[in-house]
Amino acid sequence: MKKFLTIAMALTLTVSLAACGNKDKDSSSTSDSQGSSTTTQSADLSGSILAVGSTALQPLVEQVSKDFMDKNSGVSIQVQGGGSGTGLTQASEGQAQIGNSDVFAEEKLDADKAATLVDHQVAVVAMAAVTNKEVGVDGLTKQQLVDIFTGKVTNWNEVGGKDQKIQIVNRPSSSGTRSTFEKFALGTKTEDLAGSIQEDASGTVKKLVSETPGAIGYLALSYLDDSVQALKYDGVEATVDNVTNGSYPVWAYEHMYTKGEPDAATKAFLDYIASEEVQNGDVVELGYIPASKMEVKRDAAGNVTK
């Protein structure tokens, strides 16, 4: 027994020590690549990148990182979820090279911390209000949405639908999706009403909206399908074209933050995401809207410019 224990412990130790050594090697090679920054020669790139944060952005970054690693065998990229807040914290404290976020850093971090981060807007996500298919409404005005989400209207027949009680399926108040929806669809912060449902995961929201009678929620365009009814907003349909030409306002950037200017490998990765190849390929395929396609721009305060 003792022998077994000794062996087991020795094994653990060796493995962990060796792996520590391995990690040192990795980080030193990162600094090497910084020295000889040859971004055009992709074959020379090496280093390891950790991208943490938004679960909404995760599928895109993960997909792109696979292609990038195929092209640059020296680079290893890890993509982790954990939420926008986690991503921003990890990036601003230097634990991750990239912090993925659904919202501007200024909304989550102190102003001086946010100032150390450099924003890279890689895609746009648009959201649509969705309802259960049975409610009999296919569009709402901004005022009607506000009335519903503030609890002034509690029955679908008040907004032209069937006589059915409205069930709100909201996101938690800390969610980036909710803050986008409140800012650009409602124009006001709302409270969590008694009896409303709060779920963070898009999959769960979709399931609840499609199964609960009288339910209303909101989803990113990539999650829309036949199981729910997407609503027109002030008569404008939630389509990619309407978002890019500025007529549909409920959208937000997906951000990838770096602390200061990124190192060579990270910069090459971010450039790769911003390239036409990815923007018109993976980004569109995954249901995001390419940032380069946008005819309007928006700053952290929400001001839109053509």
Partner 1 sequence: MSARTVDKIATGIIMAVAGFIVLILLGLLGYILIRGVGHISWHFLTSAPESIRAGGGIGPQLFNSVFLLVLTLIITVPLGIGAGIYMSEYAKPNRMTSFIRLVVEVLSSFPSIIVGLFGLLILVNKFGFGFSLFSGALALTIFNLPLMVRITEQGLRGVPLQQKEASFALGISKWKTIRSVLLPIATPVILSGTILAAGRIFGEAAALLFTAGMSSPRLDFTDWNPFDARSPLNPFRPAETLAVHIWKINSEGLAPDATQIAAGASAVLIIMVLVFNLGARALGRYMHNKFTAAK
Partner 2 sequence: MERSVNMERSYNKRQEAKPHIAEEWVGKIYTLICIAFLVITIFSMVYFVASKGLSTFIVNGVNAFDLLTGLKWNPDIDVPSFGALPFIFGSFSTSILAAIIAAPLGFCAAVFIVELAPKFGRTFLQPVIELLAGIPSVVYGFVGLSVIVPLFRDLFPGQGIGIAAGALVLSVMILPTITTIATDALSELPAGLKEGSYALGATRWQTIYRVVLPTTMPQQMTGIVLGIARAFGEALAVQMVIGNAPHIPHSLFESTSTLTSAITLSMGNTAMGSVQNNVLWSLALILMLMTFVFVFVIRFLEGRKKL
- Contact residues: partner 1, CB under 8 A: 1-2, 5, 8-9, 11-12, 15-16, 18-23, 26, 48, 50, 52, 55-56, 58-59, 62-63, 66, 69, 76-82, 86, 90, 93, 95, 200-204, 222-223, 285-287
Question: Alpha-carbon Rg of the chain, whole angstroms?
Answer: 23
Should residue 151 be labelled a site residue for partner 2 when binding is judged by CB under 8 A? Answer: no
- Determine how many CB atoms are found less than 10 A away from the CB of residue 3: 7
- Please identify which residue in 33, 46, 58, 84 interacts with partner 2, judged by CB under 8 A: 84
Q: Which does 160 bind (CB under 5 to 8 A by kind): partner 2, partner 1, none?
A: none
Distance (Å, rounded) from C-alpha 271 to C-alpha 261? 13
Should residue 199 be labelled a site residue for partner 2 when binding is judged by CB under 8 A? Answer: yes
Q: Which is nearer to partner 2, 146 or 294 (CB)?
A: 146
**Helices of type H across the chain:** 2-35, 58-71, 84-92, 105-108, 111-115, 142-149, 176-181, 202-211, 240-244, 264-274, 276-280, 282-285
Structure tokens belonging to residue 161: 């639908």
Distance (Å, rounded) from C-alpha 119 to C-alpha 254? 10
Q: Which is nearer to partner 1, 56 or 186 (CB)?
A: 56
- 3-class DSSP state of 152: coil
- Please identify which residue in 83, 161, 217, 262 interacts with partner 2, judged by CB under 8 A: 83
**What does DSSP assign to residue 268?**
H
CB of 302 to partner 1, least distance (A): 26
Distance (Å, rounded) from C-alpha 192 to C-alpha 140? 21
- Please identify which residue in 26, 211, 241, 295 interacts with partner 2, judged by CB under 8 A: 211
CB of 88 to partner 1, least distance (A): 14
Binding stretches for partner 2 (CB under 8 A) = 2, 5, 55, 81-86, 88-89, 93, 108-110, 167, 172-176, 179, 189, 191-200, 204, 207-208, 211-213
